Amino acid sequence: MSDSIPQATKEQIFAAARKFNYRPNFFARSLRTFTIGVIVPEVSEGYASAVLRGIESHLLREGYFYFVASHRHRLDLIDEYPRLFLDRGADGLIAVATSWCREVSVPVVTISGYNETKDVTNIVLYHKRAADLALRHLLQQGHRKFSFIKGQAFSSDTEVRWNAIMEAANRLEIPVSPKLTAQLEGDSASPQLGYKVTKKILASREPFTALFAFNDSAAMGAIRALRETELRVPEDISVIGFDDIQSAAYLNPGLTTVKQPLRKMGKIAAKTVLERIQRPDSDSNAEYITVEPELVVRETTGPATEIPRKCGRMS
């Protein structure tokens, strides 16, 4: 049949397809497929897996199937995956810890995305409360010299969490020293990242008695680096993590951390995207849904003693 179409007409059709970014769809958009596309930075033990458990439990209960794609912070994949999900007839999308700046034809819910895109619902943590909980706990233990590990530059949580920490530190009159602040580098969730930056902080020889890490994995790496420098946790240095991943409670000693209700956030995201699919014209679709953090005190924090002389010595 294509041979009956004039070449000039074909070229006009192809040009229009390229101009409007046309992509063939395998399903009629008027048909519901009971499928949700889920986009995550990576699938590993920790943040993403806990959120996915919450998403999965609600979708399976409601009779929905889901696809998961991990982008490892590659911009080309972040751009491509939503299109692929739509081509396969996804009824809605959930983006986890992924910046979102595109408008699509189906409901979108993000977790820790902090997006201003139209018709996107954002599930976010109350970071100001989280920062206040952690810093007040350390102050109450007598700590006055703090070290901080920031998240990677590409993480959607990094800027908002750091701003919250800075605001709380200013309010509580806690000095923040550039020598005692380091940023994670690399796209993995490995404790190795926290280990490396803690070594850099120790190399500055600036004294401190407490360390607040961007996430639990970084805190675990930090503890390893401190121990190699013959510093005890919490007797010499107290350490607080963030997230409360499953392994945090089983670390020796157990990790004090700011708990994000990750599984709950996943359930809320799944519930919200299904409600928006079922009631697309509802006026109750919220732009932001905020969840509360909780401080989980275990054994890596304790009373401050005098600043250890070993604090600046590298092994």
What are the tens digits of pLDDT across the range 283-301?
556 788 999 999 999 999 9
Provide the pairing of β-strand 294-296 with 256-259.
Answer: antiparallel
Tell me if 1 is assigned to some domain.
Answer: no
User: What's residue 308's pLDDT?
Assistant: 66
The answer on 197 and 99 residing in a single domain is no
pLDDT of 315 higher than 60: no
Instruction: Measure Cα distances from 261 to 43, 50, 165 in Å.
Output: 18, 9, 19
The answer on 304 and 208 residing in a single domain is yes
The answer on 111 and 60 residing in a single domain is yes
Q: Is the peptide bond before 253 cis (omega within 30 degrees of 0)?
A: yes
The answer on 121 and 43 residing in a single domain is yes
What is the number of other CB atoms lying within 10 angstroms of the CB of residue 130?
22
User: What's residue 291's pLDDT?
Assistant: 97
Work out the mean pLDDT of the chain and round it to a whole number: 88
Tell me if 58 is assigned to some domain.
Answer: yes
CB 294 within 8 A of CB 130: no
Number of domains the chain is built from = 2
pLDDT of 17 higher than 70: no
Instruction: Measure Cα distances from 170 to 132, 247, 254 in Å.
Output: 11, 32, 29
Tell me if 143 is assigned to some domain.
Answer: yes
The answer on 246 and 212 residing in a single domain is yes
pLDDT band (50, 70, 90) for residue 314:
very low
Tell me if 2 is assigned to some domain.
Answer: no
- Domain interval for residue 40: 7-125+263-292
d(CA 228, CA 208): 16
The answer on 246 and 169 residing in a single domain is yes
* Mean pLDDT on 199-226: 96
Tell me if 209 is assigned to some domain.
Answer: yes
The answer on 157 and 59 residing in a single domain is no
The answer on 278 and 135 residing in a single domain is no
The answer on 243 and 148 residing in a single domain is yes
pLDDT band (50, 70, 90) for residue 190:
confident
Tell me if 158 is assigned to some domain.
Answer: yes
pLDDT band (50, 70, 90) for residue 23:
low
pLDDT in tens, 118-175: 788 999 999 999 999 999 999 999 999 999 999 999 888 999 999 999 999 999 999 9
pLDDT of 278 higher than 70: yes
d(CA 20, CA 4): 25
CATH classification of the domain holding 251: 3.40.50.2300
The answer on 202 and 121 residing in a single domain is no
* Mean pLDDT on 14-38: 67
The answer on 241 and 106 residing in a single domain is no
pLDDT in tens, 33-73: 899 999 998 877 678 889 999 999 999 999 999 999 998 88
User: What's residue 298's pLDDT?
Assistant: 97
pLDDT band (50, 70, 90) for residue 200:
very high
Tell me if 284 is assigned to some domain.
Answer: yes
Tell me if 239 is assigned to some domain.
Answer: yes
The answer on 153 and 91 residing in a single domain is no
